[in-house]
Amino acid sequence: MSATGVALAGVSAAYRGTEVLHAVDLAVARGELLVVLGPSGAGKSTVLRVVAGLEPVTGGRVLIAGRDVTALRPGRRNVSMVFQSYALFPHLTVAENIAFGLEVRDVPRAAARDRARAAAETVGCADLLGRRPGQLSGGERQRVALARALVREPDVFLLDEPLSNLDQALRVEMRAELRALHDRLGATMVHVTHDQTEALVLADRIAVLRDGRVEQVGTPDEIWHRPASVFVARFVGSPAMNLLPADALTPTGDPPPGVGGDTRLGFRPEAVGLADLASTGDGGAAVVDRVEVIGEDAYAYLTVPGGHPVVARVPAARRPAPGAAVRVTVRWPDVHVFDATSGRRVDPA
């Protein structure tokens, strides 16, 4: 990757003496879209606030575009933040809202107006310039908030759950637009979300945050196919990856070298094969507790011997009946092996 857009080096942060970020290291390349993903309370917003300078660090350093900004006021960091609430001024027009950040920086009025219009055109809200925020839909407000961030030509965009107030259809549309905007601008963006699908779709790389620590940083492919821990494996994917003690199931085929010791086996619902219990072949017995049909897919919730739950995704047309006894197969290549104690991935050879 090229030059650094943003870097956190050993950053800790605290609220009233309680540390919520613990020595976080994170590097975002210039022009990269990094998504910070994690459950509520993991510290995602705090990461953004620390970069923006809205929260002080209690340790470590923050760099933006290669410059140490740890001691700089927010106004001197050249970042734009887009909040979940959009934070538009209700009494100002869209044009005034977008231009606001420029006028407080003493950009002449006419120039600010031109730049506001250009930014509005970039995000597709130029037809709304004369309206006030109260006269806009959620999606339109979102565009205005983006235009306001854009107009300042920041080194870094910080986006704090910017899509979470939109309905599902609009969220899907806006996330594609956001990605296209990023690609057009070549901008460095740090985008916070708790939505794993949003992260997988949007990100160049994803940083998974857990309890104020970075659990894994990787491309969406790496996060999905090689989760570094049980936490990542189960946070990304819905329904969550199955996880069983190693002795609860025998996968088919050759086990990878190096597997042994006290481990947990993880496999996604789509990796589970179901067959009639009466048929011959590999696999273990299971009972179907319930079945959910979602269009073409069905999720069968099973219990395997030992009382462990397993979810299988199967074509709806071939779903088993609730109460049925079935044979469950999983192939070794589809199995993720984790250390039972640490929860970390056991990397076979």
Residues that bind ligand ATP (CB under 6 A): 15-16, 20, 38, 40-46, 194
Q: Whole-number minimum distance, CB 50 to ligand ATP, in Å? A: 9
Continuous H helices in 127-260? 138-150, 168-185, 196-202, 220-225, 230-235
* Beta bridge partner(s), residue 27: 7
Return d(Cα 242, Cα 301) in angstroms, integer: 11
DSSP string for 7-31: EEEEEEEEETTEEEEEEEEEEEETT
Residue 20 or residue 129: which is nearer to ligand ATP going by CB? 20
Residue 46 or residue 263: which is nearer to ligand ATP going by CB? 46
Residue 43 or residue 101: which is nearer to ligand ATP going by CB? 43
Residue 209 or residue 271: which is nearer to ligand ATP going by CB? 209
Q: Whole-number minimum distance, CB 113 to ligand ATP, in Å? A: 35
Residue 213 Ramachandran class (φ > 0 left, ψ -120 to 50 alpha, else beta): beta
Tokens 């538009």 map to which residue?
88
Q: Whole-number minimum distance, CB 40 to ligand ATP, in Å? A: 3
Q: Whole-number minimum distance, CB 58 to ligand ATP, in Å? A: 13
Residue 20 or residue 174: which is nearer to ligand ATP going by CB? 20
Q: Whole-number minimum distance, CB 41 to ligand ATP, in Å? A: 4
DSSP string for 58-98: SEEEEEETTEE-TTS-GGGS-EEEE-TT----TTS-HHHHH
Q: Whole-number minimum distance, CB 43 to ligand ATP, in Å? A: 4
Calculate helix-pair angle for 138-150, 109-123, nearest 10 degrees: 130
Residue 171 or residue 194: which is nearer to ligand ATP going by CB? 194
Q: Residue 339 has which token pair?
A: 């250390």
